[in-house]
Chain A
Amino acid sequence: MPVGSEASAWIAGAPAPFDAAVAEAARLLGLSAAPVFAHLGADVAGLREAVLLAEQVGGVLDHADSPGLLTNLDSVRESGAMLTTPLEAARADLVLLIGDGVFDAWPDLTPRLIDRLADGARVVWLTGSAGGRFESIAIGTGVARLAALGRLRAEAKLRPLASTPPALRSLAQSLRAAKFGVAVWSGADLEPLAVEAIHGLVRDLNETTRFSTLPLASPDACAAETVCGWMTGFPPRTGFARGRPEHDPWRYDSRRMIAAGEADCVVRVDAFASDAHIAIGLGEAPANVRFEVGRPGVDHDAIFYDARVGTFVARPAASPAGRSVAQTLAAIRARLGGPPC
């Protein structure tokens, strides 16, 4: 939209009154046999309305960053975990970074964690291949990484393997000697088995010392996980096709559903994009109906997940403007006859 335009809603690319766009969105969702929320980039209020609307239309809730989120969560719910928070992690005397993607997953990792460690704290980075900025050991990726993590776990459990490289053996000794170690990785970057191996290693280390983990995932995926959790009992990739929430990471994978032609109406909520919007229609880039929405914490008061603290924070808007995701989705749900909630 050109700057200065009054329109905040479009139908099939043409500017439309908000109410007409709401009606069209409601019509599409009402007709749909399998509506899919393929992305949930929203503040808490917006997420809440997305869950309610998904229930109303028998839809599926997913998030574009679900793969990384679920890689982390799957391991936790299969076998448990030792976890810590971003603030507490700064107390560590040893930080073990794993995988090349840690800094992509948390761009503020250096200022928020590394730079805040006490003098003398050690940072070791298990990279894929490249030498890292810190003391680093290249352990490869995929099967090679699994093997290396397996060796590290065995060595840390004082079950030495003849073929363990000296650097890993020495690292295992350091892990055992740490007073409070923290392992950090990105779920988007590691194989599920690698995450499981790290949790096993950390569990073992806690038999004699204190060690924890800080698994990273995208902040708005963490928000979606948490809000879907308290509203439905489940994280994203939860569907209401049968009236009750059902969680199935394969069946309710929105990319798979779109590619397979199962999804006959797609909703993308993207309030954190520079052109904050909701798009509804067919395919990966739906365009039948589009709403411009306010930016959380900028155009309207908002509560969202803050990676610096690992929980929700509130941010009031400096100068309120525009409709929020929550207001837009609530209007669609009301149009469909959803009861107040």
Chain B
Amino acid sequence: MLTRIAGGRILDPAQSRDEVGDLWLQGDRVIAAPDHGRADETFDAGGCVVMAGAIDIHSHIAGANVNTARLLLPQQHRAHASRPAATPLANAGWSTFETGRLYAQMGFTTVVEPAISPHHALHAHLELADTPVIDKAILAILGNDDFGLGLMRDGAGPDAIRDHVAWTLQSSKALGLKVINAGGVAAFKDNVRSFGFDDVVPRYGVSSRQIVKTLQRAVHDLGVPHPLHVHCNNLGLPGNFQTALDTIAAAEGLPLHLAHLQFYGYGAEGKLGFSSAAPKLAEAVNAAKSVTIDVGQAMFGQTVTISSDVLRQFSARAQARPSKYVIIDGDANGGGVMPYNYRDGSFANAVQFVVGLELFLLIDDPYRVYFTTDHPNGAPFTAYPDLFALLMSRDVRAQWLSRLPAEALAVTTLASLTREYSWGEIATMTRAAPARLLGLKDRGHLGPGARADVAIYRPGADLAQTFRAAVRVWKDGECVVRDGALTHYRFGRALRVSPQPDAAMTRRVAEYYDARYGLDAELLSVPEAALPREPFETVACPR
């Protein structure tokens, strides 16, 4: 099957291509224009923008905590309008099937679920296998687990830590490693109620800083393309920008990714003791070239926060709206699920909204800032189209700002920022940059040999609507979206790295599981063959 996408504006920052022209697909790949090719199918993309499929590096779409949220909040997905049932479970709100459909319709073809406790990796992969169209991946969580902290306490050395990280990535079939409030969740098990970057975990005698540095080094040494993905301490607290600054400084030239930086962009200025510190953070990020961040933009409306930062979720329990929460003391990180309503009339929520936008507009390099809403913590991923419109248009921003409390704007700088993201910068941030960050060589670009994941948008006056409903989406060369609607399911694959496990570490882990749990460690591993509908694709570790 030879497909010609004719006469669109091909926007491919990874190949420095921005021109009106044709794009050719054959099978599941992009190919160079054939000399005498006759297309089996031609799509007239005149007036449209042609991009690679978008890649989301941080979106909580699957796993035990997400499912707990579904079950906790039946009212959140009741009363969805019925749609004609072209695809099974098309009417099931907040199902994995809906997740795949909504992402595809926006032109997304790869999504990373960033927070999976290794013991729940199989559950997460089962949900991802039921998420149609898109390719997916998980990040495995360490940094609050007894075995790993025990290694650090006992001075096991970098080789042992690296081997344990390799074992964990292999066992949970993950694309990378995440640390969430390093040590803070373990400390909460001992009833510690606040935990900073240089605080020490009871029983283990290691600080959060040591945990982050140790795991950062291990991920780097293994050659895992995606750097350690860090959820810092003190999320959401006034004055917490200092924690983020300290963590950025601790990167010390090695790659480090900071998740949802918006939630750390808070000063304690102003008469309410809450202000934007985004300019300080942006300055630090601009200077620290080895650091990447995603924003975790907050938007307004009802949502639910889902986090493995159990200490933070517990501490914020009074803010639950509606007033209920689930806190899970897990085998390692566990989770906290808490509904929350971001209101545009709220001073604090308005500051959060503005801090996110300031980070986007003040961080210079679109290869180092990512567009997340930390779905669903800042907003559902379906808010991305509105977010892109906010970044691309001062006028759209002005409209939104006019609804916000003046006191909130007074403790921020947003009104003075005139930058507008170009289409090229949006394409970089949503395609080229995440592919580079995750080490996905055949994604995020449209050069010959690229996977034929293609999204086509027709720019209109309403930019949000433009991004909400892609005109066409091809996944692996198969057209799955027409005029903003999914036509049928196909199922993607799960991306993972596959570092060689060390035999001695495998033995050591097995002994640990036997002694601590009386179980075979393999019981909690994800077997390659367990998920026939979700084949794994191995992403190379170059080292």
Residues of A within 8 A of B (CB): 44, 48, 51-52, 55-56, 73, 76-85, 87-88, 90-91, 111-112, 116, 179-180, 206, 209-210, 212, 225-227, 229-235, 242-247, 301, 303, 306, 308-309, 311-314, 316, 338-341
Contact = CB atoms under 8 A, between A and B. Distances in A.
Given A77-B324, A230-B95, A48 B130 contact: yes
B74 interface: yes
A225 B67 CA distance: 10
Interface stretch (B43-51, B117-125, B268-276): B117-125
Given A52-B88, A209-B191, A210-B329, A314 B70 contact: no
Closest 7 CB pairs of A and B: A244-B91, A80-B324, A314-B530, A84-B329, A341-B88, A80-B325, A233-B94
Interface of B: 62, 64, 66-67, 70-74, 77-78, 80, 82, 85, 87-89, 91-97, 119-120, 122-123, 126-127, 130, 188-191, 314, 320, 324-331, 334, 488-489, 517-519, 523-524, 526-527, 529-530
A81 to B, nearest CB: 5
B329 A80 contact: no
A306 B524 CA distance: 10
B62 to A, nearest CB: 7
A308 to B, nearest CB: 7
A303 B534 CA distance: 14
B326 A81 contact: yes
A242 B324 CA distance: 30
A183 to B, nearest CB: 12
Given A52-B89, A233-B92, 10 more contacts: A84-B334, A85-B328, A179-B191, A230-B96, A230-B127, A244-B93, A245-B89, A245-B91, A309-B523, A314-B526
Given A231-B96, A233-B94, A80 B72 contact: yes
Contact of B529 (A82, A91, A301): A301
6 contacts: A85-B334, A180-B329, A230-B126, A230-B130, A232-B89, A303-B126
Contacts of B89: 51-52, 55, 231-232, 245, 341
A198 to B, nearest CB: 14
Contacts of B78: 246-247
Contacts of A232: 89, 92, 95
A265 to B, nearest CB: 20
B84 to A, nearest CB: 9
A229 B327 contact: no
Q: Which of B95, B122, B527, B529: most chain A CB closer than 10 A?
A: B95
A76 B72 contact: yes
A339 B530 contact: no
Contacts of A81: 326-327
A83 B328 contact: yes
A64 B202 CA distance: 45
Given A229-B67, A231-B92, A84 B328 contact: yes
Contact of A338 (B72, B88, B524): B88
B336 to A, nearest CB: 10
A231 to B, nearest CB: 6
A230 B519 contact: no
A116 B77 contact: no
Contacts of A246: 78
Contacts, number: 162
Contacts of A338: 88
Contacts of B488: 339
Contact of B92 (A85, A88, A244, A309): A244
Contact of B324 (A79, A85, A226, A314): A79
A290 B126 CA distance: 29
Q: Which of A85, A206, A244, A303: most chain B CB closer than 10 A?
A: A244
B123 A309 contact: no
Contacts of B320: 80
Given A231-B92, A233-B95, A303-B126, A88 B330 contact: yes
A37 B489 CA distance: 26
A75 to B, nearest CB: 10
Contacts of A76: 71-72, 326
Nearest to A232: B92
Contact of B119 (A116, A244, A311): A311
B324 A244 contact: no
Contacts of B126: 44, 227, 230, 303, 312
Given A80-B320, A210-B189, A230-B130, A303 B122 contact: yes
A230 B62 contact: yes
Nearest to A246: B78
A117 to B, nearest CB: 13
A320 to B, nearest CB: 12
A227 B89 CA distance: 13
Contact of B80 (A44, A56, A244): A244
Nearest to A340: B489
A329 to B, nearest CB: 13
Contact of A83 (B82, B123, B329): B329
A306 B523 contact: yes
A56 to B, nearest CB: 8
Given A85-B330, A212-B329, A303-B126, A316 B119 contact: no
Contacts of B328: 82-85
Nearest to A243: B82
Contact of A235 (B71, B324, B334): B71
A82 B327 contact: yes
Q: Which of A83, A301, A303, A313: most chain B CB closer than 10 A?
A: A313
Nearest to B513: A87
Contacts of A244: 80, 82, 91-93
Contacts of A309: 119, 519, 523-524
A202 to B, nearest CB: 10
Contacts of B72: 76-77, 80
A116 B516 CA distance: 8
A225 B189 CA distance: 28
Nearest to A111: B518
A225 B72 CA distance: 12
B329 A316 contact: no
A116 B514 CA distance: 12
Nearest to A91: B189
B500 to A, nearest CB: 22
B477 to A, nearest CB: 18
Contact of B67 (A79, A226, A245, A339): A226
A233 to B, nearest CB: 5
A339 B89 CA distance: 11
A318 B191 CA distance: 45
Nearest to B91: A244
A159 to B, nearest CB: 21
Contacts of A341: 87-89, 489
A308 B74 contact: no
B237 to A, nearest CB: 19
Contacts of B77: 233
Contacts of B519: 308-309
A116 B327 contact: no
Contacts of A231: 89, 92, 95-97, 130
Given A83-B326, A230-B96, A233-B92, A311 B64 contact: yes
Nearest to B132: A341
